[in-house]
Amino acid sequence: MTPTTTPAPVLHDGALYLGDNGRVMCSASHCAGVTARLSGRDLSGARVTPVTRADLAEWATYDLGAMRCECGRITLTA
């Protein structure tokens, strides 16, 4: 019998990620989804990218308040 292994997540806790159609997500399975959490790609196959300082600076110009993930667990400000 071959032992089973659990795949390691590729998304990091405490970080925000941008996905398809401007979606903002954290690494939690209920926010990013298991596919993105384990592969770094969403269900459409698009790669999710970590939010950078430049992304936060641009977000601030939209006057939308702090950037937060869909589940509200993580909030970042410029």
Residue 1 has pLDDT above 70, yes or no: no
Q: Report whether 27 contacts 50 (CB < 8 A).
A: no
Can you give the pTM of this predicted structure?
A: 0.88
**For the segment 17-74, what is each residue's pLDDT rounded down to a tens digit?**
999 988 999 999 999 999 999 999 998 999 999 999 999 999 999 999 999 999 999 9
Q: What tokens appear for 60 in the block?
A: 């601030």
Q: Note the pLDDT of residue 2.
A: 74
**For the segment 3-13, what is each residue's pLDDT rounded down to a tens digit?**
788 889 999 99
Going edge to edge, which strands form the sheet with 49-50? 24-25, 17-18, 49-50
Listed by start position, the domains of the chain span 17-73
Q: Note the pLDDT of residue 72.
A: 96
